[in-house]
Structure 1
């Protein structure tokens, strides 16, 4: 195999599949080797986009999209007329964004600024942003210290009157579960691939494992397994860390509650020296 399979990275079904496929299986990170898979799985996903656009209404300045990936949130804000800095720490994800951007009209393409970097070490000098975005999955990819450092960096780069829009998944207490979903995708070679998405929740550890098994149907190729290990971050931790960073939550909006009880929550934040009137 191309990577070491560790217990935190693989749930029960994913581990059994990996063991059954043995040495024919290639394993890598979802946001690196699996960037193309991630892009195709979310390309039509508009979850939270209307709510983010509504929460940013009235602001026309620059946007900083943290963990931008292939541009799920970047593109709608470009279309609205903003200049967007799309920050990601995975070059493979920014390569997918570049492919999307190449199809944009010039007036949109010229407003996009891809940036390779670590959101926990933000440094744009004196530049300030009217809007900073942190999408649903992204906050769960940070450990506690990285999350706190990210929030401090956002506070330092948020323009007066600006808004930090951060959404987070909140899970029901004590619910341990595994879900499996299968979708067909277009592969980079132009053929067809079958992607099996496996998610395991381990609330006793505050952890999730997300695995995507890709089987290439045409042209045939060895199977691939892409891994991600996001955390289950509770709402109290997010709001406490925002406050500690000097960011005041001025609105909480429940965007969606899934059948398994998980809730997507959007927090609208301002610098804590500005109050709720901005």
Structure 2
């Protein structure tokens, strides 16, 4: 069983190693879901709100860029709310109905002066038309890696069509360092905003173009189903993203390392569409 469990995320990547064993230990109580679907979205939301990762770097860049902000793959608003905190108008674009529902719920609890500056939009970040332009288009949380290669040209085209003159495309991507200890998986304990702990198990072998992350509760309930969220995303080195941006008619104006530990380090790219 442990060798044949399939993640429901993006093509059914097999779960192996620690992830498979953790699910097998739960037996029939384990309910696998995608991290971004109805069952997984609350787990993503619980964890996403606990880290300031890349927020400072993005806010620093945005302070130099006037105008409204388009937050792509906004999720439940991890970056949307800090952008609103700058006093900007923010359009939050998200494909998942479950994620955008969480975002709308959070907005409903904010003061009208904040809520009125945010426009949630359900759309695909590789194919959208909003009829306006923005001083900055942001794609954070290394979410560009969620798009397959044949969808990324659509992203670059849509961003170009929505950037105001002098605007910038800000995006982060993950660099994965070579594995030096002979293993192809890591595990950390992550704590959500509600205090719940999760075993965050990542499967990735050096050279692979995808990595799979599985979230298993540290303390599952004694009875009943146990939700296990998993997702498989691409690994896109900055050099590859820069080459794609340049081929799509952008000039990359800066590359800023985003502090972080482990075998991952993210970078923030700032690109300008050449006209």
Counterpart for residue 25 of structure 1? 30
Structure 2: any 5+ residue segments left out of the alignment? Answer: 1-5
Distance 1:220 1:84, change over 3 A: farther
Partner residue of 1:270 out of 267, 272, 275: 272
- Separation in 2 of the partners of 1:177 and 1:24? 27
Counterpart for residue 165 of structure 2? 160
- Separation in 1 of the partners of 2:14 and 2:61? 35
**Contact 1:140–1:232 (Cα < 8 Å) also in 2:** yes
1:44-92 CA distances to partner (integer Å, 9 max, x unpaired)?
Answer: 2111111111112233321111110011111011111111111111111
**Contact 1:11–1:199 (Cα < 8 Å) also in 2:** no
- Separation in 2 of the partners of 1:41 and 1:105? 24
Counterpart for residue 110 of structure 2? 104
* Residue 240 of structure 2 is aligned to residue 237 of structure 1: yes
State the TM-score, normalizing by the size of structure 1. 0.87
Give SS of 2:142's match. helix
- Separation in 1 of the partners of 2:97 and 2:257? 32
* Structure 1 residue runs of 4 or more that deviate by more than 6 Å after TM superposition: 4-7
1:116-142 CA distances to partner (integer Å, 9 max, x unpaired)?
Answer: 1100102113x1111100113301111
Distance 1:185 1:77, change over 3 A: closer
Counterpart for residue 81 of structure 1? 87
- Mean Cα deviation higher: 234-243 or 15-24: 15-24
Distance 1:217 1:225, change over 3 A: closer
Counterpart for residue 138 of structure 1? 143
Structure 1: any 5+ residue segments left out of the alignment? Answer: 274-278
Structure 1 vs Structure 2 CA RMSD: 2.5
- Separation in 2 of the partners of 1:140 and 1:51? 19
- Separation in 2 of the partners of 1:2 and 1:22? 15
- Separation in 1 of the partners of 2:267 and 2:192? 29
1:240-259 CA distances to partner (integer Å, 9 max, x unpaired)?
Answer: 11112211101111122423
Residue 231 of structure 1, CA deviation: 1.1
1:11-66 CA distances to partner (integer Å, 9 max, x unpaired)?
Answer: 41111222232322111110112111111111121111111111122333211111
Aligned length: 267
Counterpart for residue 69 of structure 2? 63
Give SS of 1:98's match. helix
